[in-house]
A and B are shown apart, each in its own frame.
Chain A
C-alpha cells in the first residue's frame, strides 16, 4: 500500500546563510546546546531529592543552645531535576572522552574505566580511615603494593604516600630536605629554581620558608648548568628541577647536576610531573636525585575531574627517607600491615603529619590498577608512544610554527612552540581559541615562561595517528587563515557555548557567589 499516494515531498528549503548565530530562538537554546539556569534560580528551599523522616516538632535537643532557627538558605531540587541540571551542565564541558586534549604538562590521558570500577568496590570505598588495622589489611596492602611499584619504577629508597597532589608532594619533599639539613645543623636559606619551572615550585619553596632564586634556561631550553654551578654554595639548600623539563626536553646533564648540588652540600628535588615520558625506561634514582613527586593523576591516569582530586606520592633517597611524613604503612614480622602513627616506635625523625589521614586511597586503587594493567612492557610502550606522538607533532608542525628547540634533538612527551613569526596582529590566544571551533581543546598556552607566547602540546600515548593528523591539519589551517589576515580569528570561538569571556571585568569587581 502506498501511504503517500500524492507523492508529496517536503521541498528543500532555500539555503539560509548561517553566519555564526543564525536565527534566534525564544528559549535561547540551540537544539542540543541547552542553556541552564543556576540552582538558585531553579531550585527552592523546600524542594528535596532525598526522602528523609520528617523531624518531629517537639524533640528535645542537646545542641547546647546552638540550634538554628531556620534551615540554611540552600535551594533543593528533586532527583529528575537534579539529574537534568548536571547533565545539561556537563554538556558545556570539553573532556578527554570527547576528543584530543593536548594540554602540555597536564597529561590528559584516557582514564580507564576499570580503574573507576575498582575504586568503587565497597571493600575500598566504604572504609573509615581510623578502623582497627586488622579490618583494613587489604587497603593497607594496596598502599604497600603501590608503594613497592613506585619505588621499583624510580629506583629510590622509599616513598611517602600521603601528599594529596603534585604541589603537596613538592612541599613534602622540600620539607624533608629542610628537616635533613636542620638535623645536620646546617640550615640553609636558598632554594634554586629554574626559570622554566612550574609556578608551584617557587611557591612551594617559599611556603617552606626558603628564599627562592631563579636559574636561567640556556639557549637549548635546558638549565644553564654553568650558571647553576656558579650559584651553588653553602647557603643553597637545594635545587628544584623538572625532568623531563617543561620545555619537553630531557636534562642531559642531570647526573652531573645532581653531583654538583651534592658536592655543594645541597639536595636535588625533581618535579616528577613529566615522569610519564620516561616511565618504564628510565629510573630517576639512577640519575642521582633525592626526592621526586609522582602525579598519579598524570603518569598513572587517575581522572583530573575538572580540577582534582590528584595524588602526589614522593619517592625519597635514603638520606631523606627518615624525615618522611606520618602516617605510613609497614609490614610486621608476621606479614600483617601496620600504620605507623604519632607515638609509635618508628615515628622517630618524621617531620610530622601533612594531611588528616593516609592520603588519596581513591587514587591509589586506580593507579595500582593502571600499573598492573600495563605491566612492565605496557609502561615502556606508554612512554615510548607518548614520546613518538609528541615528536610526530613536532616534526609535522615545525615548518608551520616556530619550534624554538626543534634543533636541540628529539623532544620528550610534549612539543613546544612560540608565537615568533606569527602573522602580524595574531596571538597565541587567537590560535588557541580557533582550535576550540575546530573541536579540540587548546594546548597549554603562555607556559613555560621562558618562551614567548608559548604553546605546549602534549598529545599523550592515547591518541591514534588519525587523531593526530586531524589535529595537525586543523592547526595548519588556522595558521594559514592568520597568514591570510582572517580577522574572524579574533572572534573565535564562534561555535562554543560561550564566546570569549571578559576576565578583566570578572577580576575588577569579583562576583564569587550568587546573590538575589
Chain B
C-alpha cells in the first residue's frame, strides 16, 4: 500500500516492544459485537494510482465543464479566470499540508497571509476589520444575523427580497432553532430594487436588515438610503456581496453605511468547483470585534522584538468559550483565503477595477443584444455583470433545452424559486471576462431560435 511506511518487520518489532500479540489485540476495548471479523463488505481492495485515476476521469468526463460551452451561469457562483500562479502557489506543501496556525513560531507564513487577507477584505468591503474566513457566503450571512442579535439584543431580522434565496433559506433554517424571527419574501420582477417597501418594514424590534448588493436579480439597491433608515431604528445594516468583483466598479458597502458586510469570495481565486469549497468573507466595524465569529489574526512582536502574527481574541471561540462562544466554527476556508489573497495581490486595486470594467462592458453588450430578441426583455435598469431577462415562456425549460444544444444559458428563476409562478419566466444571465463576443452571439442566436 503506497501510503503506508510500516513494513511487516516494523510491525512485528513494534508489537513486541508494546507487548501485544497483534494489531487486533490493540482493539480489545471495542465490544466484540461491534468488531468486524473481515474486511468491509463490497468495497474492493486497494487500487493503483492508474486504476483510480481512470475511474475518476470517467466520472469527470460525464460532466459538461463550464469551459466547454458558451457559459452564462451566476446566481452566487461566478466563473472568472484564475491566473496560473494562484493554483501553483496554493499547492506548495508548506501551505497545503499545514494545520491551523496554533504554533505561531512555525506558522508565520499562514499567519502573515491571513493578516494580509483580512486587510484586503476590509479594504474591499470598506470595513474597519475582517476575519480569517467562514465556510461560504451563506453561512457568513447567518453568522451576521446571529451577531446582530448579540449586539442589538433584538430578535427580528429583515431580509431584503433581493437576498439570494439559498442564503435566506440557510438563515431560516437556523432561525427555526434559535427562535429568531425572519421576515422575507420573494422578489418581484421589477427594475426597482424595492428600497421603499423594505424601509417601510423596519421597526424598533428589528435587529438587522440584510441587503444583497448587487441583488439576486442583478439590481443595485440604494444602500445609503437603506442604511439611514436602518440606523434610525437602532438596527444594523448587513450588506451581502455574492460577486466581489463588482466592488472594483461600485462603491463599497462600508462606505455606504453598512455595519457588517458578508459575502462569497469564490470569484477571486477559488473557481467554481460545483459549489464548494467556497470562501465566506466577514467584515465589520472595529467596535463590534468582540462579537465577531471565526478566527482573527493579529499583529504582535516576538521575544526578540521582531514583528510577528498570532491568532488572537480566541476568548470568543469555541475551544476556549465552549457553549458561550460567538460561533461553533473551527475549521474554516483557509486555503481558499490564500487563493483569494494571491489572486487579489496579482490584480491590485487598479487591476480589480479593470477586471470589473471588462465584466461590465461585456454584460452591457450582452444585455443590448439580448434585448433585441423578439419576446425577450431585460428587466434591469442597473446591473454589474449579471442581469435578469424576462422570457415569453418558462425559463427552466429554455435552460434545459439550450443545454442540450450546447449552450449553458444562465440560471432560471424557477430553479431558485420553485413554486413562485410570477418568477417562472425570469432568466439570470451572468457575463464575466471569460465570455467572448462569439459566446454572446451564440447565446443570442440560441435563444432567438428557441423562441421562434
Contact = CB atoms under 8 A, between A and B. Distances in A.
Contacts of B308: 498, 501
A40 B105 CA distance: 22
Interface in A39-94: 39-40, 43-50, 52-55, 59, 61-68, 71-77, 79, 82-83, 85-87, 89-94
Interface string B306-347: 101110111101111111110111111111111000101111
14 contacts: A52-B354, A54-B354, A95-B96, A145-B59, A152-B40, A199-B317, A204-B328, A309-B276, A309-B334, A341-B418, A375-B47, A392-B18, A491-B303, A493-B106
Contacts of A344: 418
A132 B400 contact: yes
B130 interface: yes
B156 interface: no
Interface residues of B, number: 215
B196 interface: no
Q: Report the 3 A-B pairs with minimum CB-CB distance, sorted nearest first.
A: A76-B348, A64-B382, A343-B418
B252 interface: yes
Point out which of A68, A126, A409 has the most chain B C-beta atoms below 10 A from its C-beta.
Answer: A126
Interface string A476-516: 00000000000000010100111111110111001111100
B350 A130 contact: no
A199 B102 CA distance: 15
A159 interface: no
Given A374-B1, A512-B289, A76 B177 contact: no
B17 A72 contact: no
A129 B275 contact: yes
Given A90-B95, A206-B323, A281 B35 contact: yes
Contact of A89 (B112, B330, B336): B112
B247 interface: yes
A510 B330 CA distance: 20
Interface stretch (A8-16, A228-236, A346-354, A416-424): A346-354
B40 A93 contact: no
A295 B297 CA distance: 24
A122 interface: yes
Contacts of A208: 177-178
B138 A356 contact: yes
Size category, A interface: 35 or more
Interface stretch (B70-78, B226-234, B369-377, B444-452): B70-78
Interface in A226-261: 249-250, 252, 254-255
Contacts of A352: 169-170, 172-173, 176
Point out which of A36, A145, A152, A381 has the most chain B C-beta atoms below 10 A from its C-beta.
Answer: A381
A114 B347 CA distance: 30
Contacts of B380: 62
Contacts of A463: 5
Contacts of A357: 76-77, 136, 166, 274-276, 278
A165 interface: yes
Contacts of B159: none
Given A54-B354, A310-B331, A374-B3, A501 B300 contact: yes
B360 A61 contact: yes
A308 B332 contact: yes
A382 interface: yes
A266 interface: no
A110 B408 CA distance: 38
B109 A91 contact: yes
B402 to A, nearest CB: 9
Contacts of B264: 356
A36 B408 contact: no
Nearest to A55: B357
Interface in A396-432: 396, 409-410, 432
A124 B411 CA distance: 19
